[in-house]
Amino acid sequence: MRWKQKEKTKEAQIKMKTMSKFSLVSSLVLLLVLASCSLAMAAKQVELVVWDLQSYANQPWYQNAIKAFTEKYPHIKLEFEPHEGVPAEPKFISAIRTGNAPDVGILNLYWVKDFAMNGWIQPLDPVIEPETRADFFDGFLEYASYDGQLYGLFNETGVATVLYRKDLLAEAGITPPALLEAWDFDEFAEAAKKLTKDVNGDGKIDVWGVGIAGSRTGGGGPATFVQFPFFWALGGELIDENGWPAINSEAGRGSLQFYHDLVYKHGVAPQESYSYTWDDIARGFSAGQYAMAFLHNTHAPSLEQQFPGQIGAMLYPVPEHGVTSATTAGGWIYSIFTDDPDKQQAAWDYVSWMLSPEVMRAMCVEIGGLPTRRSVFDDPIFASELFQVFGRQLEGAHMKPGDPIFPVIQDEFGVAIQEVLMNQKDPATALEDAERNVIQRGQATGILK
């Protein structure tokens, strides 16, 4: 019996030792697994350098979007470097050439073609989901494509529009055009004359019929943004089929003549209009100095807050009835710069998040922008009269071309606008000089050959 008891004791000791060894091995395996998981988690940590618009920084929709993104994607660390908008193009190009480009950037729409041609940004085709692509309006996809590939996505768009004070038109006995119809040039000028008033009888105009932004501030972008609709309604093309400037045309001369007539023939806009930015015009409108103004649709929300129920929008005037009202559509485009495979998915996660229906809706509601996704534009919140006009205006929208020569064209066209508004040159001479200057500058820089 003692012998058997000793055997059992030995067996128990062997089992204990075996279990201890197994437990030790199991613990080591578990530690190795945990260590490998930690390493994998660490490997997934990604840092993205993002260049977003400086103007977004203090806007609630943007702050909320970034907060929600970092909560959903804790492994992606965002390093922001805000940029100032249109003037930032040289900054982007310098960073690209010195190897310091961001991983993600928001670009002015007419930079994208040039950046894609140079191979500076990456095609989105490998990462964008088919259903996401199909939700964007075709025109915006086409604009951001080059050589059959998609290089960016618009986060919203905006149009040049005519904003007006409903109460001032009513006081002058003027019935605005039907909601989705346009006045012709003559009808617009006649209405503007009735709205131009010396209220206090001191011999000076207190309320002008229309506000015109003619300043070249911002590279001439805002001034051409609100002027090009007349050029396009008259059938103009900024660039011909060979890539050369085509601004010295009947359409160009007619569009500038309309501006000149508003100031000097009809006297419905101040002669200082050449020096005003569209923010000056918006402030003047807010102060009651203008009854109508050529502005951007995003000026409407703040004006509506100041004049509840009294802000209207109408389609841009047309040369004659039957012509489609034209406008300029603008916007900013998210593009991916990084070619690092470890960063590209994270970059797309950021871009797709900022372009998600929820974020786009919040942005457009807050700033008065127009959605570029079908699912967002169908939201009932965009069914107001203002948005109906903006939506119809998009049907005749043109976007500034992305050709490398365009910034030169815009600059020289901006000079011509000022020269005409200052009564220094007639439209024909101003545009003849402008087109010659574009060609000379284009050839000197090798853009035109």
Q: Give residue-wise pLDDT tens across range 217-249.
A: 876 789 999 999 999 999 999 999 999 999 999
What CA dihedral angle connects 292, 294, 296 and 297, to 10 degrees?
40
Q: Token digits for 315?
A: 């389609």
In angstroms, rounded to a whole number, what is the distance separating the alpha carbons of residues 55 and 298?
Answer: 13
* pLDDT level of residue 21 (50, 70, 90 thresholds): very low
CA distance 257 to 423: 11
Res. 277: pLDDT tops 60: yes
DSSP per-residue letters across 113-130: HHHHHTT-S--STTTS-H
pTM tops 0.75: yes
Q: Which of 55-69, 199-213, 280-294, 365-379 has the lowest mean pLDDT?
A: 365-379
Is the per-residue pLDDT at 311 higher than 50? Answer: yes
Phi, psi of 124 (to 5 degrees): -90, -10
pLDDT at residue number 367: 87
pLDDT for 4 equals 41
For 345-359, what is each residue's pLDDT tens digit? 999 999 999 999 999
User: How confident is the model over 166-202, as pLDDT tens digits?
Assistant: 999 999 999 999 988 999 999 999 999 999 999 999 9
pLDDT on residue 44? 77
Cβ contact 56:25 at 8 Å? no
* Per-residue pLDDT at 220: 73
- CATH 3.40.190.10: which residues of the chain? 46-158+330-399, 160-325+402-444
- The structural architecture, per CATH, of the domain 160-325+402-444 is 3-Layer(aba) Sandwich (3.40)
Residue closest to 228 by CA, chosen among 218, 219, 238, 215: 238
pLDDT at residue 25 in the model: 41
Report whether pLDDT(42) > 60: no
Tokens of 198: 């010396």
Architecture category of domain 46-158+330-399 in CATH: 3-Layer(aba) Sandwich (3.40)
Mean pLDDT of 64-75: 97
pLDDT at 317 over 70: yes
DSSP H or E run through 293: strand 290-296
pLDDT of residue 358: 97
Q: How confident is the model at residue 368 (pLDDT cuts 50, 70, 90)?
A: confident
pLDDT tens per residue across span 374-406: 999 889 999 999 999 998 898 889 999 988 899
CA distance 53 to 294: 24
**What's the confidence (pLDDT) of residue 17?**
47
**Percent of the chain with pLDDT strictly greater than 70:** 90
Q: What percent of the chain has pLDDT over 90?
A: 82
Residue whose token pair is 């617009």 = 188
Residue 320 CA: distances (Å) to CA of 176, 183, 304: 17, 8, 30
Given this model, what pLDDT does residue 5 score?
45
Mean pLDDT in residue range 309-315: 97
Contact between 134 and 339 (Cβ < 8 Å):
no
In the chain, the amino acid numbered 92 is F
CA-to-CA distance for 195 and 173, rounded, in angstroms? 9
- Is the predicted pLDDT of residue 2 greater than 90, yes or no? no
**Which band of pLDDT confidence, cut at 50, 70 and 90, is reported for residue 58?**
very high
Query: What is the rounded distance in angstroms from the CA atom of residue 373 to the CA atom of residue 342?
Result: 29
Per-residue pLDDT at 425 exceeds 90 = yes
